[in-house]
Amino acid sequence: MLLPLLVVMVPAAARPVPLTPETTFDLYMRTAIENDPQARREFEANVGPALHLFPDMETEASSLAEALPSGALEWLVNDAGADDATRAQQAWTTAVLRNTRCRALSSDIWHRLSDGYRVATIRFSCQVGDTERLRTLSDASMFDPQEEEDDRFWSAYVALLRDGPFKTIYGTSELVMAPDSEIWYSEAFDPRTLGSEVDNDVASALAGEWQAMHSWWFQTMRMTERRMTLVAECDELVQQYRRCAARFAPQELLGAYALAKQVSDQHGTVADSELAQQCLALRPKVEGLWPEPCE
């Protein structure tokens, strides 16, 4: 009697346990984004015939790479040279994506009455380079638009996303399960593409950090415009301060912002002619801060 019992029990024990929404999300991230071979084996063993529900698994490069800024990829090409450009881009992109370590934190499961599907609303976290540390370098490349400034910013940016320091960001997404299935998967974000809703949600969370410099540039331009006095001597003084700080000591841009605020606050309470004289008197002090002229 023992042998037949064993024969019956083996298939039951060998049957894969259905993955939870959190485990499905984690394995998908490790496979499609981080290119983890062990995760791919686990994923394929559990999903099996339903692998077609995960079109991004069939491509070698993650669609998430499209969220990385073109400026960083162009810098890598210029830095590596034509012969090594493709290899350098691939190596950097792979390292950045592996750093993301997007993982599910929790989920709430509910039923969608329209079609009987179960839906898991997943809260997740990802690791991303703390790009806020580069804001002064970004502003420096704006106020002193030379190739050296641009190179300094993108060099630091590429290193930060690859090596850190990192910070944690958060997002939400959804997985669904058909009424006759035990497989959680992500619905298509756009039926005309291979991208899924999870791909889009994760990319949106990360792109907010990866592409932060675009919002910085806009914010800095708005602030610069608001601080203008239309008193030529003062606006030129502030502009010179910004340009020299950007070139010689980007951290000193904080001083330029403080000077712009001080002059702007005085404008309207002090006659333009008097304000112009005050700015002219400050000019030698500002010029003395730098090792050489930066006109």
Spatial CA neighbour of 19 closest among 198, 179, 183: 183
Per-residue pLDDT averaged across 3-32, rounded?
A: 69
Decide: 95 and 176 in contact? Cβ < 8 Å: no
Q: State the Cα torsion 12-120-202-37 to the nearest 10°.
A: 0
- Give the pLDDT of residue 220: 83
* Rounded (10°) angle between helices 253-266 and 272-287: 160
Provide the 8-state DSSP code for 88.
Answer: H
What are the tens digits of pLDDT across the range 142-199?
888 777 778 889 999 999 999 999 999 999 999 999 998 888 988 875 544 445 888 8
- Give the pLDDT of residue 172: 96
Provide the 8-state DSSP code for 70.
Answer: H
- Give the pLDDT of residue 177: 92
What are the tens digits of pLDDT across the range 100-136?
999 999 999 999 999 999 999 999 999 999 999 998 8
How many other C-beta atoms can be found within 10 angstroms of the C-beta atom of residue 88? 18
What are the start-end ranges of the E strands in 67-189? 103-111, 118-129, 166-177
- Give the pLDDT of residue 12: 47
- Give the pLDDT of residue 110: 95
| Structure-token pair, residue 208 | 């907010």
Q: What angle do CA 40, 46, 50 make, to 5 degrees?
A: 95
Alpha carbon 158 to chain centroid, angstroms = 12
Alpha carbon 56 to chain centroid, angstroms = 20
| Structure-token pair, residue 270 | 């002090």
- For the chain, give the longest Cα–Cα distance: 107
Per-residue pLDDT averaged across 58-69, rounded?
A: 73
DSSP annotation string for 226-265: HT--S-HHHHHHHHHHHHHHHHH-GGGHHHHHHHHHHHHH
Per-residue pLDDT averaged across 89-105, rounded?
A: 93
- Give the pLDDT of residue 8: 41
